[in-house]
Structure 1
Amino acid sequence: MTAPILVLGNVNVDLVLGPVDGWPAIGTEIEVERAEMRAGGSAGNTALALSGLDEPHLLVASTGDDPNGIWLRGEFDARFSDWIVDPGMTTTTVGIVHTGGDRAFFTTPGHLQRAAPEPLLERIDRAPREGAVAILSGNLLMPRIRNATSRILAELRARGWQTAIDPGWPPQGWTEKFRQTFVEWLGLADHILLNEEEVSGFGGADAILGLLPSASTLVVKRGPEGAVAWRNGEEIRVAAPKVEVIDTVGAGDTFNAAYLARHVAGASLEEALRHGVEVASFAVSTFPRSYGPAQK
């Protein structure tokens, strides 16, 4: 299948619980209002949002071959999915939502630790048209994919894709070695999609912009404050609508989906940024998750 958006990266089982007000004492038990088992992972959330928005795309990702893997693959639209089934356990993440919408994650290793670049690259065709975008997200949770990220981005470009990255927070921290690796990725990405904490960890937006080609786009997702983006020396800011936040898990990934959908449709940077903010804002205010009035 050819589609203008290609989604690569981590897909796993998410168990979302909450809200909690602070952490319970060790050995105690508390009740929470909501619990939902759902498909997740950064790439998974982006693909689900694209499906919810009825945007053509292709998700290429792996799961384990256990019952959780079977269930997980069944949560995605088969028309838009190409699965790598890896022998062994499927990765599971427990997301604890705190009062106010912030969250913490606990993730088992599982299939994400085993995912390899070769089966991924074997499934990637040439871009179907000019302006088509491939996003690689959550790669920092996949050691072999992380180590091959520069190769993957270069291969995508060679096959005619624009590239986008949303690697997430580095589990090892912003070490000097990882900073050098991240700089290499910046030179191979057309769209860099980060949140404020990740940008701050590197040293600020100015530090990143100083390393980017002028035609590349840096997007900083600012949660309830909206988003800001830079391209060709232009700065665009978009405020977020006021919503009652229920669950922020996957908000940034949902933003990525809506932003890229508008971008490949030929929208301006401001229009794409605004669509990303509006769709993500609606999504975090719904349970179970919906993409609502911002849908096509």
Structure 2
Amino acid sequence: MTGPDILLLGNANVDLVLGEIDGWPAIGTEIMVERSEMRPGGSAGNMALALTGMGLPYLFVASTGDDPNGAWLRSQFDARSCRWIVDEGQTTVTVGIVHKGGDRVFFTTPGHLQTARTQDLLDALPKAPHERAIAAIAGGYLMPDVAAGTGRLLRELAARGWRTAIDPGWPPSGWNATTLGQMSEWLGLADFALLNAEELKGITGADDVDRAASLLAQRSRPSQTLVVKTGPEGARAYRADQHATAAAPEVRVIDTVGAGDTFNAAFLTAWVRGDGLDEALSFGVDTAARAISTFPRRYDTL
């Protein structure tokens, strides 16, 4: 076998994480927070960081702006594992406000993600090194041209021998006719759908996770795996007549930014190496639990 087992396509941006706060301050006031951290982020970026932290080979194809933030962002990743596209303009920045208990809210500037191009990703696609190799597309809804071209990306990846995974994130415009139509196309093509509970409910229109999972599992192909990340409860997965669950260990949460992305990286790693559905879920949940309970972050499992 040659080449990395996992190919990542998607968003990288600068994350500025601040916290903790207990409720929102009144307009015009100022409060102090105990800590801040400037770190590389983005859904695909967080997956790349987790794979580096676990010492696993991968290829990450992504873009940044050509400003100082872009240079800093590129320097935070393993250069041997990345293929960067440098666009003119500012690099996207996300400010994450962490609330007590670990929940968070994000504020994101448009930046380079608004100009990311599907064709640049298509031009960079290698052939899969073997039949279990997986290509994951993450954070597509923050990149309009990539979101429009994700169906094409999934088809081309399959033609090059890759198993495919999709984690779209939450669309800034909400779940409307356009985003639901895109998601329906992607679900019809991807081998793995990696969704959190809120995304699952938004896609199906159900207000209960169990009901939403059942609805989407019924629409899945027999060869497709639906993974639902349920935060502190852990994760569950559906594949044909299989249903697996993994409970999250109890940890002291520092912040949950990137928890689902870390889970994705670990779950896909376990699947590539031949683990079953139960084992892959457990590895994903345990790795994410370590990440959200350590500072600086660690990715070795508990």
Which TM bucket (shorter chain)? over 0.9
| Residue of structure 1 aligned with 2:257, choices 222, 246, 249 | 249
- What amino acid is aligned across from residue 163 of structure 2 in structure 1? Q
Alignment partner, residue 79 of structure 2: 78
Alpha-carbon distance in 1 for matches of 2:295, 2:159: 41
Alignment partner, residue 207 of structure 1: 215
Alignment partner, residue 209 of structure 2: none
How far is the alpha carbon of 1:210 from its aligned partner? 2.2
Alpha-carbon distance in 2 for matches of 1:181, 1:57: 27
How far is the alpha carbon of 1:207 from its aligned partner? 2.1
Alpha-carbon distance in 2 for matches of 1:167, 1:277: 19
Tell me if structure 2 keeps the 8 A contact 1:183–1:211. Answer: no
Alpha-carbon distance in 1 for matches of 2:31, 2:127: 51
Residue 34 (str. 1) matches residue 35 (str. 2): yes
The alignment partner of 1:121 has SS state of helix
- What amino acid is aligned across from residue 45 of structure 2 in structure 1? G
Q: How does 1:95-174 map to 2 (within 5 A)?
A: 95-174=96-175
Number of residue equivalences: 294
How far is the alpha carbon of 1:290 from its aligned partner? 1.4
Residue 223 (str. 1) matches residue 231 (str. 2): yes
The alignment partner of 2:194 has SS state of strand
Alignment partner, residue 267 of structure 2: 259
The alignment partner of 2:219 has SS state of coil
Deviations 1:213-257 (A, max 9, x none): 111000000111010000121100110100011110000000000
Tell me if structure 1 keeps the 8 A contact 2:47–2:262. Answer: yes
Deviations 1:31-53 (A, max 9, x none): 10110000000000000000000
Percent identity over paired residues = 60
Can you give the 5+ residue segments of structure 2 that lack an aligned partner in the other structure?
205-211
The alignment partner of 1:54 has SS state of coil
Tell me if structure 2 keeps the 8 A contact 1:260–1:272. Answer: yes
- What amino acid is aligned across from residue 284 of structure 1 in structure 2? I
| Residue of structure 2 aligned with 1:234, choices 242, 246, 257 | 242
Q: Which runs of 4+ in 1 moved over 3 A?
A: none
Q: 1:177 to 1:195 in 2, by over 3 A?
A: same
- What amino acid is aligned across from residue 208 of structure 1 in structure 2? L
The alignment partner of 1:165 has SS state of strand
Residue 288 (str. 1) matches residue 302 (str. 2): no
How far is the alpha carbon of 1:149 from its aligned partner? 0.7
How far is the alpha carbon of 1:21 from its aligned partner? 0.4
Can you give the 5+ residue segments of structure 1 that lack an aligned partner in the other structure?
none
Alpha-carbon distance in 1 for matches of 2:42, 2:278: 27
RMSD over aligned Cα, in angstroms?
1.0
Alignment partner, residue 192 of structure 1: 193
Q: How does 1:259-278 map to 2 (within 5 A)?
A: 259-278=267-286
Tell me if structure 1 keeps the 8 A contact 2:10–2:43. Answer: yes
Alpha-carbon distance in 1 for matches of 2:297, 2:21: 19
Alpha-carbon distance in 1 for matches of 2:72, 2:220: 40
Tell me if structure 1 keeps the 8 A contact 2:283–2:301. Answer: no
Alpha-carbon distance in 2 for matches of 1:22, 1:230: 36
- What amino acid is aligned across from residue 27 of structure 1 in structure 2? G
Alpha-carbon distance in 1 for matches of 2:101, 2:227: 24
Deviations 1:140-169 (A, max 9, x none): 000000000100111100110000000011
